[in-house]
């Protein structure tokens, strides 16, 4: 069982850059997309269906061309949950979850804190979201939350921790929240297999950052601790270029 998570920064743009062909080669079972920037009717979903993703679910933002998440699956889920019920957030299309027999997978797109208003919005949502997840954990034993968390966890996860210490995405309050989130019962799947520095999932388009690997690791596949023994593999696919992010992946033992 292979799961991919990918902030595509516009699913239609990514499709024009070869996303579908790449999915054929990668051959995942489930794909969590973030920042789709489209309504379902604006996407040629038949291209995904033709390569095996017969079940695809879209949760777009009310604002056109903004945010939005989706999950593509080769297997039919038991249940689909759109949003979280956190009303001030759901209109931005930031959470969708598929429940299967043995596990559930959520595609998550946490907001960025690009200015003071959005930072406050982000911090409020983070607090409400972690409470939501704690309740969810009492109902769902094996939960996978994949997506763009817009937070670097530790200094190893960012190319310049000193200069970025006061930048949203690496603020102490954000990093503490992410540790609290992990401590609530999750595993950072990538760090189970790779403790090396200089592994990132996002690069600004400015100053040739990607070519120089001046990046941030802000995309995660968090897996319930109950699934620790099911983890087979995890990686960051930094050579895949359809977006300013790159895809991340895990494989689970059956």
The catalytic residues are 148
CB 147 within 8 A of CB 219: yes
Residue with tokens 């190319």: 159
**E strands in the chain:** 2-7, 30-34, 55-59, 69-73, 79-82, 95-99, 104-109, 143-148, 186-188, 219-224, 231-236, 248-252
> What Å distances lie between residue 141 and 99, 102, 137, 225, CA to CA?
11, 9, 6, 9
- Residue 210 tokens read as 């990607």
The continuous run of DSSP H or E covering 19 comes out as helix 19-26
- Residue 15 tokens read as 């499709």
Q: What is the DSSP string of 203-225?
A: --SGGGTTTTT--B--EEEEEEG
CA triple 246-179-253, angle to 5 deg: 60
Cα–Cα distance between 212 and 31 in angstroms, integer? 28
CA triple 149-71-170, angle to 5 deg: 5
Cα–Cα distance between 93 and 8 in angstroms, integer? 15
Cα–Cα distance between 127 and 20 in angstroms, integer? 36
Residue with tokens 């494989």: 251
């Amino acid at each position: 069982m292979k799961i991919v998570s990918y902030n595509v920064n516009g699913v239609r743009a990514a499709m024009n850059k070869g996303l579908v062909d790449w999915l054929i080669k990668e051959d995942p079972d489930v794909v969590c997309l973030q920042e789709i920037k489209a309504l379902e009717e604006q996407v040629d979903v038949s291209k995904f269906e033709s390569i095996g993703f017969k079940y695809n679910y879209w949760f777009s933002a009310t604002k056109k061309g903004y945010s939005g998440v989706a999950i593509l699956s080769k297997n039919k889920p038991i249940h689909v949950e759109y949003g979280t019920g956190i009303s001030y957030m759901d209109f931005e299309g930031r959470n969708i979850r598929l429940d299967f027999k043995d596990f559930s997978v959520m595609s998550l797109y946490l907001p960025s804190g690009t200015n003071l208003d959005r930072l406050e919005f982000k911090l409020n949502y983070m607090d409400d979201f972690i409470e939501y997840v704690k309740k969810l954990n009492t109902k769902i034993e094996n939960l996978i939350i994949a997506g763009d968390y817009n937070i670097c966890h530790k200094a190893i996860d960012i190319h310049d921790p000193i200069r970025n210490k006061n930048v949203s995405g690496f603020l102490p309050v954000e990093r503490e929240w992410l540790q609290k989130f992990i401590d609530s019962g999750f595993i950072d799947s990538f760090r189970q297999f790779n403790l090396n520095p200089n592994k990132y999932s996002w690069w600004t388009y400015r100053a040739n950052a990607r070519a120089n690997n001046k990046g941030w690791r802000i995309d995660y596949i968090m897996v319930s601790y109950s699934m620790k023994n099911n983890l087979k593999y995890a990686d960051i696919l930094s050579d895949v270029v359809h977006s300013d992010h790159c895809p991340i992946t895990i494989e689970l033992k059956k």
